[in-house]
Amino acid sequence: MNNWRNRVAAALLAAGSIGAWSVYGADKAMPSAPAAVTAAAPAGADGRIVGTGLDSYAAIVDKVAPAVVTVKSERRARAAQQFPFAQDPFFRRFFPEGESPEQPRQRREGGLGSGVIFSADGYVLTNHHVVDGGEEITVELTDRRSFKAKVVGTDAPSDLAVLKIEGRNFPTLPLGDSDKVRVGDVVLAVGNPMGVGQTVTMGIISAKGRATGLGDGSFEDFLQTDAPINQGNSGGALVNTRGELVGINSQILSPSGGNIGIGFAIPVNMAQYVSKALMAGGRVHRGMLGVTVQQVTPALARSLRLDMTGGALVSSVAPNGPAAEAGVKRGDVITAINGLKLSDSNALRNHIAALGPGAKATLTIVRDGHERTLTAKLDELPSKTAEAMPTGDGPDRSGVGLSVQPLTPETARRMGIDATAGLLVTNVDPSGPAAEAGLQRGDVIEEVEGKQVQSVAELRKEFSRAGDRPALMLVRRGDSSLYLTLDQSKG
């Protein structure tokens, strides 16, 4: 019996099985194998390890890693005032000469993400949410060089941003074609998770065309991957096994905030389109059809007598919009654009947006069980991205701490704003003059210095006209209007 046990143990040792038993807690049943005894994997005639697939991704990482950077974003924040009546003469007499109640102190808030250099002259792709609100952006390369970065433009609907660092001959990543990516393709995620330093993880493409609704939700066409992505990976690279950029890592789906194998990356084709627009003019111009659409569920398909569940069901048509003028009606199902079949309503929105304002779109629709073709000339979709005042001398984001966008009827209706014109306040720096004046996010600036303002240029003009005195603003807040004064000298 002892000889039989010895033969079994020797066979297990030869197969390398003892180590596996030890890992899973079976070491109490059988002692671990000495390292010198454990057999190596079989080798071929030429001495190479015999295996299937690629044994190492080191060559790809060597090619990719230098072009993936760390992005650090900082902004000022003012701590809450401990004594709100600090300047009141009545209360100041209770403090000794030379002392004063505690005043708000400036503190720095930092953000950490990743980015990808896609141009040798220093253009960097990252996420909008990585740099949003940042006043000081720093880009750090793997060779430990550090650069101050300028924000060329950001686009909240796609969660993309383009930065610029000064220099030449930077390492870059070649761009792949995300349309050709297939579910099951092996990918590597490269970035700086949790600030530990550049990290590479591996997985596959789990799905395509995902819309999560976790961010702005406007233009989503995510590549889903199980390559581990964590906080700090945002803006980093998702590359294929040829070392080509196929996606910009953007989101994770997790109940705990940590990786559970459900990550999302913005396809590089969308990133390329957005980056070109941002570099050309600082914003993205998107096409608008003028319809509200929804998914075609199996139940809706049966009710509409459709033999498919693809496409987008039109639930409303904007009066006098491109769709209305083309003849689109409520209840139509748009199944294709310019011959390209639509999988769902999200695909419709993305394709219309990418065509751009002024483009002609040939719509294939199904109405009452019959297919027909309509042609629409697209309008421009109003930007949902806050139009921040440019930096410089005078009323700008760093000077008055204010971001606005023109108020449209659609925005007013969606947000329940009782106003028809003006500038919607989309962001207020808590440490800037705008916050001190009492402006709040969601306010509508109707007039400045008695003049109606409907654009950033008009707002700048009227602020400038106020000169050294505080600018008088008429602000709509909810169902009422109020006057506020903004002192630009406190910027």
- 155 catalytic per annotation: no
Catalytic residue among 73, 114, 159, 250: 159
State the virtual CA torsion across 161, 165, 170, 174 in degrees, nearest 10.
Answer: 10
CB 351 within 8 A of CB 291: no
Please state, in angstroms and rounded to a whole number, the distance separating the CA atoms of residues 302 and 300. 5
Catalytic residue among 128, 129, 155, 429: 129
Retrieve residue 354's tokens.
């990418």
- 234 catalytic per annotation: yes
Query: Measured between alpha carbons, how far is residue 219 from residues 96, 377, 412 in Å?
Result: 59, 20, 21
CB 397 within 8 A of CB 310: no
CB 144 within 8 A of CB 161: no
Strand, coil or helix: 86: coil
Length of the chain: 491
Catalytic residue among 114, 234, 275, 345: 234
Residue 180 per-residue DSSP state: G
CB 453 within 8 A of CB 440: no
Phi-psi region at 197: left, alpha or beta (left = phi > 0; alpha = psi -120 to 50): left
CB 73 within 8 A of CB 79: no
Provide φ and ψ at 442, rounded to 5°.
Answer: 100, -15
CA-nearest of 325, 322, 297, 323 to 310 is: 297
Residue 66 per-residue DSSP state: G
344: exposed, middle or buried (Cβ count in 10 Å: 0-12, 13-18, 19+): middle
- 114 catalytic per annotation: no
Please state, in angstroms and rounded to a whole number, the distance separating the CA atoms of residues 457 and 450. 16
Give the chain's radius of gyration (CA, Å): 29
Amino acid letter, 292: T
Dihedral sign of CA atoms 93, 98, 101, 104 in order: positive
Provide φ and ψ at 437, rounded to 5°.
Answer: -75, -15
Q: What is the set of active-site residues?
A: 129, 159, 234
